[in-house]
Amino acid sequence: MLGGAVPMQATDLLAATGAAALGMLAVLHAMVWRAQRQRWALMFTLCMGLGAAYYLADPWLRPVGDQPNPAGSLAGAVLILTLVAAMADYVGLPKRLARRVVVLAVGAGVLALVVRLAGGMPRSGGFLVYAGYFTLLAAMSAWALRREPGRGHGVVLLSVLSYPLAVLAMLAGHVQPDLVRYVIIVPCVMLGMTVLTTGQMRERAAAEQEVLRRRAAEADLRRLNDSLELRVAARTAELQNMVDGLESFNRSVSHDLRGPLGGMAHALRLAREALDQGDQEGAGRLLDAVAEQGEQSNELVHALLALARAGTGELQLQVLPLDRLVAEALAQLPTAGVDTRAVHVAPLPAVKADAGLLRQVLVNLLGNALKFSAAAPSPRVEVGMRPDAAGTAVLTVHDNGVGFDPAAAERLFQPFQRLHGAQFQGSGVGLSIVKRVIERHGGRLWAEAAPGQGATFCFTLGPAPT
């Protein structure tokens, strides 16, 4: 329609159609709000409901020629401002920016309404004001499109741009002004339908993200529980080892310390009696026995302190050449009765460990190997490396000594356990120290042996250095 007035029946039909479409959209948005309690759905319910009421009352709100209808102008202003507020909430503008946009829109709307009602703005100016508001809606849609691509905001952008285009067509003389009043129904219906659809798309995507987040949280919780169970098991094992160690300590104190201390006291009394009788030679022999018992007790106390230090303190990890550490350990061994020429060291890798603790491990293992192989015709101790089934480097200390029963291997690493009794000297805590140090490094320790066929002590130190 490019000329003449728009027939009254046609405008009534357009208004009725717009009222029905907008009313249906108000119902649909209300259903979404009731199901999901999304604020934008409630605001669009209000907006579409106002639009439906506006066109139901169209005969009483139409302007007469170029003269404004105060009730129609006020209702139109409320409708467009509600639409701006609903759109700001739907696209998710930051709260501060959303408040500024709404305040600016309300201020501009009140000013335009006053000027229009005062007769200072022609009807075409009112259409331009509405076009400006729809341009603002388009700008918010473009912002949402950039922030959330692929969520339907591009369709919203195209729908709200249809009204400014219609106003431009009116200014160019291609659309009658009476018809532009009803053209706004099209972008409003398109906007309401698009927001309804894209809003569900957004909620579905948010629900999928929430499902993924919860699944990830459940997986993290399962891993945490598994890790916690492992830590609890490790701590329980550590506490059990401590309890076992305390029990062994009590036995050692009651046997290894109380016996020598009681013997020393008895020998000292006998020495005093010998001196009172003038038997200096007998007193000297008794004092020598007391000194020997004192040295053994002192060695046991030092061993207990070393066992305590092996389980405490922070590890000072560094990359260490293992062959150099073996040489340092051999140099620390007591020289009496030890032939370090029997030790053969294969090429060894670098390891990441605490130098002081690992050196103590090697001192204990090499000392044991030399002690238990000393009676062999040709004593031989070999230090080397081999990979296990998983490719982890396993460090080994092998001797050709007396060996032991494999069934008793686990007892070796318990404090104060001596598989060979008093046949070989020792405090019974050396291998316990080795076990604690290896486990603190995240490694494993085990022994392979047979009676009369020597023994091999094997250990790992966790991940290789990078």
**pLDDT per residue over 345-394, tens digit each?**
898 888 888 888 888 888 888 888 888 888 788 888 899 988 887 778 88
Provide the pLDDT for residue 336. 47
Query: H or E segment at 291?
Result: helix 280-310
What gap in Å lies between CA 260 and CA 27, rounded to an integer?
97
316 vs 50: which has the higher pLDDT: 50
Structure confidence at residue 6 (pLDDT):
46
Q: Select the more confidently predicted residue: 436 or 429.
A: 436
pLDDT at 103: 87
> Which whole number is the average pLDDT over 421-426?
52
In whole angstroms, what is the distance from residue 416 CA to residue 279 CA? 39
Per the listing, tokens 């018992």 go with 293
Q: Calculate helix-pair angle for 95-117, 70-91, nearest 10 degrees.
A: 170
Can you tell me whether residue 37 is helix, strand or coil?
coil
pLDDT above 60: residue 212: yes
Q: What is the mean pLDDT of residues 299-315?
A: 61
Beta strand pairing call for 343-345 and 381-387: parallel
CB 89 within 8 A of CB 46: no
Residue 161 has pLDDT above 70, yes or no: yes
> Does the predicted TM-score (pTM) go above 0.85?
no
**How many residues does this entry show for the chain?**
466
Nearest to 415 by CA among 285, 276, 247: 247
pLDDT score at 2: 38
- Give the pLDDT of residue 1: 38
Count helices and strands (H / E) in the chain: 14, 7
312 pLDDT higher than 80: no
For the segment 231-242, the average pLDDT, to the nearest whole number, is 74
Note the pLDDT of residue 256.
Answer: 59
pLDDT, residue 257, reads 63
Residue 246 CA to residue 1 CA, distance in Å, equals 103
Residue 14: count of CB within 10 angstroms of its CB: 19
Name, in order, each residue with C-beta under 8 angstroms of 361's C-beta and a sequence gap of 6 or more.
Answer: 433, 434, 437, 438, 459
Residue located via tokens 């061994």? 333
Percentage of the chain modeled with pLDDT above 90: 0
Q: Determine the pLDDT at residue 153.
A: 74
Q: Average the pLDDT over 174-179 and give the result.
A: 70
- pLDDT range class, residue 426, cuts 50, 70, 90: low
Cβ-Cβ contacts under 8 Å for 198 (sequence gap 6 or more): 151, 152, 153, 155, 156
Q: Are 371 and 345 in contact (CB under 8 A)?
A: no
pLDDT reading at 69 higher than 60: yes
Q: What are the pLDDT digits (tens) for 31-49?
A: 888 888 888 888 888 988 8
Does residue 202 contact residue 160 with C-beta atoms inside 8 Å?
Answer: no
Q: What confidence score (pLDDT) does residue 416 get? A: 56
pLDDT at 376: 82
Instruction: Kindly list the structural domains of the chain, giving each domain's residue range(s) and its CATH number in brackets, ordered by start.
Output: 8-215 (1.20.1070.10), 316-466 (3.30.565.10)
State the chain's mean pLDDT as an integer: 78
Question: What's the pLDDT band for 231 if we cut at 50, 70, 90?
Answer: confident
